[in-house]
Structure 1
Amino acid sequence: MSSMKMMISRAAASRLLTGATRPADSAERGVTLHRNSFVSVRKMSKALTIDNINPNILKLEYAVRGPLVIRATEIMKELEKGAQKPFKKVIRANIGDAHAMGQKPITFIRQVLACVSLPELIDKGDFPEDVKQRARDLLDACGGGSVGSYSASHGIELIRRHVAEYIARRDGHPCDWNNVCLSSGASTSIKSVLQLFCNDLGGKTSGVMVPIPQYPLYSASLAEYGLQLVSYYLDEASNWGLSVDELERARGAALTAANVRALVVINPGNPTGQVLTRDNIESIIKFAHKHGLFLFADEVYQDNVYAQGSKFYSFKKVMTEMGAPYDELELASFMSVSKGYMGECGLRGGWVELVNVAPDVQANLYKCISAMLCPSVLGQAAVDCVAKPPAPGEPSHALWLREKTAVLDSLKQRAQMIADTFNQMEGFQCNIVQGAMYAFPKITLPPKAIEAANKEGKLPDVFYASRLLEETGISIVPGSGFGQYPGTYHFRTTILPQEPLLREMLDSFKTFHANFSKEFA
């Protein structure tokens, strides 16, 4: 088509689409428009609609970042624009984000990250010699000497070796670095291992046993992958203990619909804050071995143990020391730099250790991981600082130990403060926070409050949390987002606000609860 004809066609089409009806001018000979002419424009349908997307995505829920958290963000923006509220700020007690709640970074970690990010600081910066040497070692392990390069899909070998050394020191038993895989936080490696179970056997869906209350990553991931959630209840009356009788009940009830193939244990617990005893861990291992279950040991809070008499034992350590046949159990153990004393959530560093996994299965897991290229190399560098902290006698050791101790001691005090405060409030019962970063108190709601919730089409604990947010700016997560025993109501709050803010939060909480109870008495 000539350029003139192209111009005429475009001009004519333009007038058709805009409704123009005047006769063609001299530049548009051959094109006649009648007053009643029109063009029917077919609206293109969407390739993806709510009716044809993956139905598993529709089932997926993640309460920690759910509707109440979205509303909390909206309120923050309203306050920034000058909106008048009965409070001046939103307190984000809904998520375990330590630095967002005022925790200071560990100096050694940040100094190493600074040097690997800008290598000229190694020579120009005023950093301790062990920081500079660590940065040199990490850069030597990176392609092209830069953290901007890809690493191996399962992580830099040097860091994997350091993680294996950390695990060996922790447990007193050897660890093969080839069984360590680095990841973008623990969540990524948990999901990668869960994907291995995505197949039906004998016409039944694969089932994974998950504690209730649970960290919603598990229920969300199982829904996403089309796996069957097999819920077992923790015993609140026994400080959220784990009963083998309950494990047997849950497994037996699920067998008609699912092939129960794996068991998830979170220790220390999220959202419940319990720390399992060694005897309890041994009984869980015996149960898993008896039924041939793959064990997921979510141990990301292993540094966060506060209560007197409580101690962290890794599942790997216990099953190794139990000996045959229990030391043959298939296990994936997860760790993260997001928790502990580090709180480096945004760096997305973590690892999984695979124990007794069949070599060809492990090879295929690594193959699957390779499709994601590699975890953040800066996150891997943070992992290295956690796995191999400054040793006694090195220049950075004293400051590192002082900062680590200060963080954990403060968390211990806040854990005590939050449990004591809730237990003094009418209608509350809060177990001691033995570890992790959360309290999960039970609340007795007045019948009239439950009626009001029903009228608004909300679950009672969601109704309570919504009122709390709108009237105090305190953002918590309703217990229904984690699962809870039928007929009970809870919520999860972090212990992470720094002590002055935590006192302010608890004072506001007490005032709100007194008014709420009076309103619905």
Structure 2
Amino acid sequence: MPYVLQRIAEFISRRDGGVTADPHKIIFNSGTQENLKLVLSLLSSGRDDLQTGVLTPVPSPHTLPRLLQYNRLSSVPYRLQQEQGWAVDVEELHRAVTDARAHCDPRALFICNPGIPTGHVQDRKSIESVIRFAAAEGLFLLVNEVYQDCVYGPGVEFLSYKKVLLEMGQEYSEHVELISFNSLSNGSLGECGLRGGYMELLNTDKVVAERLMVLMGYRSPAILPQSALEIMVNPPTPGEASYPTYTQEISLIHSNLSHNAQRGYEVMNTLKGVSCQPAMGGIFLFPRLDLPARFLEEAKTLGLQPDVLYSQMLVDKAGVCVGAGSENGSEEETCYYIRLSFAASSDTFQDALSRLCSFHHQLHETY
């Protein structure tokens, strides 16, 4: 609906300090995954001998590898720097793109800010370095910003890639191609069942933008998600009847996430063989597991990744469900991870932590 696109444009303008947003460069769809799928379908060259490559973070959102495979795209992994809180490292990006050119044609760089599932939030210097890298290598920037309103680390501020790009001068602001994604399903509202999200196009070729619009012509996003997303970007203001309730609920959500992120970080680092970086945004912690040798042998015998077996046993024995790190593109020979969501009430999350701790202690006693 034109009204919703206009409201989204106004939200982007407010968020980025008055930078103009064009509603005609905004596409609404039934979620970020559908929008990303559209973009990836245009990137695919369809050539088996030299597939299009997309630089993807490790770890990454667990759905990303499947989307790349679906669109016959080659994943070009670049490792986030765990000891720096899962930061993006430009030298690692250079290594990844240089190595990849031997077997594919790298054409895009996928970034999550805040990170999924790492919770890392990039500062201005980091974003500028990534933009310069993309410009030098001729890469299309695809930036997932769905947790932009879930940032709570001390002194941490969310800056959109668009805002930083447009403040870098014409050399970059008028040439670097960027598509940014936001969603109703994530963030403070978290209306997952309604499935609505938008993407904003910046500096994209006219033919690309037109093709995306044509592809969208075959889809008809439901009215309810459009209305709900309009509320997300245009929330109640002081003086309106629902403002006190809305403000109270959003404040409670942010306070709960901040508390759970800190509590989870502290507890996980008390466990034997576990190390965890703090989350600055999003809803996940991504602890690293150093598992006993006998447990690793059992996982090998069963034909399972050790973090997958750990996750299966945790839900069976303790009733706590986590994601296995190997499903996030993070498999390494000696390092294993779990994806732990803290988007629950403080009491529920504390109960989950207690169960996880008991299970982990028992596992080390057994193996």
Q: Structures share a fold, TM > 0.5? A: yes
Alignment match of 1:467 (pick from 301, 313, 321) = 313
Q: CA deviation at 1:502?
A: 1.0
Matched, 1:171 2:29: no
| SS of alignment partner, residue 212 of structure 2 | helix
- Matching residue of 1:362: 209
CA offsets 1:33-84 (integer angstroms, 9 cap, x no match): xxxxxxxxxxxxxxxxxxxxxxxxxxxxxxxxxxxxxxxxxxxxxxxxxxxx
Matched, 1:425 2:283: no
- Does the CA contact (< 8 Å) of 2:65 and 2:329 recur in 1? no
- Matching residue of 1:514: 361
Q: CA deviation at 1:204?
A: 1.5
5 Å-filtered alignment, 1:72-91, equals none
Alignment match of 2:346 (pick from 482, 499, 502) = 499
Matched, 1:266 2:266: no
- Matching residue of 1:330: 177
Q: Structure 2: how far apart are the matches of 1:405 and 1:460?
A: 38
Q: Structure 2: how far apart are the matches of 1:201 and 1:455?
A: 38
- Matching residue of 1:445: 291
| SS of alignment partner, residue 119 of structure 2 | coil
Q: CA deviation at 1:325?
A: 1.0
* Higher relative contact order (CA closer than 8 Å, sequence separation 6+): 1
| SS of alignment partner, residue 475 of structure 1 | coil
Aligned residues: 364
Alignment match of 1:247 (pick from 65, 71, 93) = 93
**RMSD, aligned CA:** 1.2
Alignment match of 2:132 (pick from 286, 295, 302) = 286
Alignment match of 1:388 (pick from 215, 234, 237) = 234
Q: CA deviation at 1:485?
A: 5.7
In structure 1, runs of 5+ residues without a counterpart are 1-155
Amino acid at match of 2:72: G
Q: CA deviation at 1:438?
A: 0.3
Alignment match of 2:256 (pick from 394, 410, 421) = 410
Q: Structure 1: how far apart are the matches of 2:262 and 2:337?
A: 18
5 Å-filtered alignment, 1:175-186, equals 175-186=21-32
5 Å-filtered alignment, 1:274-353, equals 274-327=120-173, 328-353=175-200
- State the percentage of identical aligned residues: 35
- Does the CA contact (< 8 Å) of 1:233 and 1:485 recur in 2? no
Q: CA deviation at 1:391?
A: 2.0
Q: Structure 2: how far apart are the matches of 1:488 and 1:286?
A: 31
- Does the CA contact (< 8 Å) of 1:201 and 1:259 recur in 2? no
Q: CA deviation at 1:396?
A: 2.0
- Does the CA contact (< 8 Å) of 1:454 and 1:460 recur in 2? yes
Amino acid at match of 2:212: L
In structure 2, runs of 5+ residues without a counterpart are none
Q: Structure 1: how far apart are the matches of 2:318 and 2:242?
A: 42
CA offsets 1:438-482 (integer angstroms, 9 cap, x no match): 000001101111011111111111111111111111111111000
Structure with higher Rg: it is: 1
- Matching residue of 1:482: 328
TM-score scaled to structure 2, two decimals? 0.97
Q: Structure 1: how far apart are the matches of 2:238 and 2:205?
A: 38
Amino acid at match of 2:5: R
Q: CA deviation at 1:225?
A: 1.0
Q: CA deviation at 1:497?
A: 2.2
| SS of alignment partner, residue 336 of structure 2 | coil
| SS of alignment partner, residue 4 of structure 2 | helix
Amino acid at match of 2:20: P
CA offsets 1:275-333 (integer angstroms, 9 cap, x no match): 11111000000000001111001000000111102111000000000112111211110
The runs of at least 4 consecutive aligned structure 1 residues that moved more than 4 Å come to 200-203
- Does the CA contact (< 8 Å) of 1:233 and 1:246 recur in 2? yes
Matched, 1:161 2:16: no
5 Å-filtered alignment, 1:135-150, equals none
